Amino acid sequence: MTTATHPHSPAHPHRNETTADRVVRVLLGLAAAVVGVILLAGAASAAAYTWASILTLVGLVLVVTGLAGYCPLYALVGFVPRSLREDDGARR
């Protein structure tokens, strides 16, 4: 199986996040999800409940994308970290 020959295609076709990016996403995601759940427990208004729910969901998305090593937003905009790009014989 070969990877695409596009100069910005990742060396790992199903991974578009660096290890550092993944660690940061998981840690921030866990923190956001925990804070969101705590805020949900004490939400006194519909607005507070909505914002706490959004924070929780964003945290969970960060955890899932960090664990998977794949960010759909990166793929949508065509971003590939330099360290994951295929070498074309020379470093850019």
Tell me: the pLDDT tens digits for 52-86? Answer: 999 999 999 999 999 999 999 998 998 888 888 77
In sequence order, what are the residues at sequence separation of 6 or more whose Cβ sits closer than 8 angstroms to the Cβ of residue 35? 55, 59
Domain limits, the chain = 19-76
pLDDT value, residue 12: 54
> What are the angstrom distances between the C-alpha of 37 and each of 17, 25, 48?
27, 18, 12
pLDDT of the residue at 33? 98
CA angle 78, 83, 89 (to 5 degrees): 100
Q: What is the pLDDT of residues 30-59, one digit of tens each?
A: 999 999 999 999 999 999 999 999 999 999
Query: Would you say how long the chain is, in residues?
Result: 92
The better pLDDT of the pair 9, 57 is held by 57
* d(C-alpha 76, C-alpha 16), whole Å: 11
The H-or-E segment that residue 39 falls in is helix 19-41
